[in-house]
Amino acid sequence: MKKIVIIGGGIAGLSAGIFAQKNGFDSIIVEKHHTLGGECTGWDRQGYHIDGCIHWLVGSKKGTQIHDLWTTVGALDEVEIYHPESFLAVEHDGVIVNFYRDLDRLKSNWLEISPEDKEEIEDFCSDIKKLHSFSVPSGKPIDMMNIFEKIKYIFSMKDVGPIMQKYGKISVKELANKFMHPALREAIASFLPEGDYSAISVLFPLGTFTSGQSSIPKGGSKALANRMVERYISLGGTVEASCEVVETYIEGNILKGIKCKNGKSFEADYFIAACDAKVLYEKLLKRRYNDPEFEKRYNNPDIYPLASNIYIGIGYEGEMNDIPRTLKFPVESVDIIQNQKPIEHLQMTHYGYEPNFAPKGHTVITFAINQFRPELDAWEVLAKDKEAYTKEKTRIGKVVIDAMETRFPHMKGKLKLLDVATPQTYVRYCNAYRGAFMGFWPTISGKVLNHTGHIKGLDNMFLSGQWLQPPGGLPVAVITGKDTIMRICKKEKQQFVTL
């Protein structure tokens, strides 16, 4: 039986492990952290559960390929799905713009707000609807398809192509500016900050959300990852946790073994790096196998930007069922980290739909404050001074509670800070390059990466995970984990099986 060592037990590593076992390999997942799931996680604080990931999961709709994949890996087996009525509600000057799941409702909400934008609203909604026929392909990677499969694939993308062309070359800001009403402009612009970010990042999420393909599995992110761990172990897979891989041994073009910080070492026929790409190329392969596709992206952060988060958990002594699940609201200009642009809005999500996430009658709330290049640099510097770093986290927590109490005066005295995670938290726990929570973001000047995971110069090692295709996220992780096992099966000249 051939042996596979998988470095990293996030969603990509778990997916690879599950398919390795199904295909008759003997696999082991070697994970740095004491628990598996990677960035798809959640944690408990003071009687509350902070869900640290899923706001929308592409693949939650039965009958799609990606749903079948999630089910095969145990993530969605018999799991109740929560369908939020709105993707996001954005408040501007007292007007609330809703990105409703029901596209007709979205259209009438927007027309009511701004009848003078009728033409743009109709065009926007009609383009979102065109994406309803699209579902994320997750059968076979394109480079492994035969000519007939390629033709079928191209045909299945026939509605997507024109939308990619139309929105791939305009920025989010340009799309927003097509609308006359400031609240609609603000709502669209709130998807990403000013810059080169492609408007595709607005269209695709709304396309999958309004077609019911991206809702939320009940129980949250940690429970989803745990179900995958159970599936992996039930198939005979082995887990070695709290075991950070720090070295590789290479002979010719074959990786022979890896060594971990705790002194353990592992040998295998194949190795899958389901960890951060930068960790792989820089730390594990010591820059000897650098890939120009990744180099180009690391060296041009304006064209290939990355985002991380400040993620704040707050407990509320009360219920919030009358407040939109995810709401972006204006706040008095707030400094978040020294010398950086102050923020003018906060985006909160409450988990009223998950009663088990909070004590009875209480609700847990999370705030995600996206962080980009200048802020990521500032966090890197600040984290070196432990005292200042902790102080800043506490200050941010207080600022957010104050802003929440100003916006919702009835909550005064009933909010308590549970936790503040920063970009450096993702670096510390997941080895995530710059704390990135997705891959490279699509921009109008950037080229779309579609990496096979092959490492040039090494015959028995592959990369899997969110870095292989933009913008990353859970679907890319689960798909690329499976794809890697397909590639190994091809090398072994054996039929790939999913059952």
Ligand X SMILES: Cc1cc2nc3c(=O)[nH]c(=O)nc-3n(C[C@H](O)[C@H](O)[C@H](O)COP(=O)(O)OP(=O)(O)OC[C@H]3O[C@@H](n4cnc5c(N)ncnc54)[C@H](O)[C@@H]3O)c2cc1C
Q: Which helix (H) or strand (E) holds 371?
A: strand 363-371
Rule CB under 6 A: say whether 239 interacts with ligand X: no
Least distance in angstroms from the C-beta of 480 to ligand X: 7
Between 13 and 207, CB nearer to ligand X: 13
Q: Do residues 218 and 34 touch, judged by C-beta distance below 8 A?
A: no
117 part of the interface to ligand X, by CB under 6 A? no
Q: Which stretch binds ligand X (CB under 6 A): 70-78, 119-127, 200-208, 466-474?
A: 466-474
Distance (Å, rounded) from C-alpha 67 to C-alpha 195?
A: 34
Other C-beta atoms closer than 10 Å to the C-beta of 34 total 9
Among 209, 281, 311, 329, binds ligand X (CB under 6 A): 311
Q: CA angle at residue 98 from 168 to 343, to 5 degrees?
A: 75
Report the phi/psi class of residue 52: left, alpha or beta, with left for phi > 0 and alpha for psi in -120 to 50. Answer: alpha
For residue 282, the minimal CB distance to ligand X (Å) is 11
Q: Which one among 430, 458, 461, 485 touches ligand X, defined by CB under 6 A?
A: 430
Q: Nearest distance from residue 98's CB to ligand X, in Å? A: 19
39 binds ligand X (CB under 6 A): yes
Q: How far is the CB of 113 from ligand X (least distance, A)?
A: 26
Contact between 16 and ligand X (CB under 6 A)? no
Quick count: other Cβ atoms within 10 Å of Cβ 204?
23
Per CB under 6 A, 56 contacts ligand X: yes
Distance of closest approach, residue 384 Cβ to ligand X, in angstroms: 21
Report the residue number, 205 or 315, with the smaller CB distance to ligand X: 205
Q: Which stretch binds ligand X (CB under 6 A): 195-203, 322-330, 336-344, 465-473?
A: 465-473
Residue from 5, 472, 485, 487 touching ligand X (CB under 6 A): that is 472
Segment near ligand X (CB under 6 A), from 103-111, 202-210, 315-323, 426-434? 426-434
- Binding characters for ligand X, 263-282, by CB under 6 A (x = yes): -----------xxx--x---
- Alpha-carbon distance of 223 to 219, in angstroms, equals 6
Q: Please, which residue, 7 or 202, has the CB nearer to ligand X?
A: 7
Residue pair 490/141 in contact (Cβ under 8 Å)? The answer is: no
Shortest CB 37 distance to ligand X, Å: 7
Check if the beta carbon of residue 228 is closer than 8 Å to that of residue 18: yes
Kindly state whether residue 205 participates in binding ligand X, applying the rule CB under 6 A.
Answer: no
Q: Which of 4, 40, 172, 285 binds ligand X (CB under 6 A)?
A: 40
How far apart (Å, rounded) are the C-alpha atoms in residues 318 and 350? 11
Vertex 171: Cα angle to 112 and 375 (nearest 5): 105
Note whether 213 binds ligand X by CB under 6 A: no
Per the structure block, which two tokens stand in for 28?
């082991």
Contact 274, 482 (CB under 8 A): no
Q: Is residue 483 within the footprint of ligand X (CB under 6 A)?
A: no
Q: Does residue number 8 form part of the binding site for ligand X (CB under 6 A)? A: yes
Beta bridge partners of 415: 316
CB 252 within 8 A of CB 459: no
Looking at 190-312, list the stretches that DSSP marks H as alpha helix, in order from N- to C-terminal side.
200-210, 220-234, 277-278, 292-299
Map the footprint of ligand X across residues 356-415, applying CB under 6 A.
368
54 counts as binding ligand X under rule CB under 6 A: yes
Buried b / exposed e over 432-457, threshold 16 CB at 10 Å, is bbbbbbbbbbbbbebeebeebbebee
Contact status: 431 vs ligand X (CB under 6 A) = yes
Strand partners for 217:
81
Number of residues that bind ligand X (CB under 6 A): 41
Choice between 8 and 139, CB closer to ligand X: 8
User: How far apart are the two ends of the chain, measured CA to CA in Å?
Assistant: 19
State the Cα–Cα distance between residues 424 and 389, nearest whole angstrom: 10
The reply to whether 223 sits near ligand X by the rule CB under 6 A is: no
Check binding of 419 to ligand X (CB under 6 A).
no
Q: Which is nearer to ligand X, 9 or 237 (CB)?
A: 9
Q: Is 309 in the site for ligand X (CB under 6 A)?
A: yes
Region from 26-34, 139-147, 157-165, 487-495 binding ligand X, contact rule CB under 6 A: 26-34
Binding-site member from 16, 25, 38, 239 for ligand X (CB under 6 A): 38
User: H helices of 266-372, where?
Assistant: 277-278, 292-299
Other Cβ atoms less than 10 A from the Cβ of 159: the count is: 15
Residue 55 in the binding site for ligand X (CB under 6 A): yes
Choice between 37 and 114, CB closer to ligand X: 37
Q: Which helix (H) or strand (E) holds 438?
A: none
Peptide bond into 137 cis (omega under 30): no
Stretch that binds ligand X, among 177-185, 339-347, 380-388, 424-432 (CB under 6 A): 424-432
Q: Which of 351, 352, 344, 346 is nearest to 367 (CA)?
A: 346
Kindly list the residues in this chain that would bind ligand X in the complex (CB under 6 A). 7-13, 30-33, 38-40, 52-57, 244-245, 274-276, 279, 309, 311, 368, 430-432, 437-438, 465-466, 472-475, 477
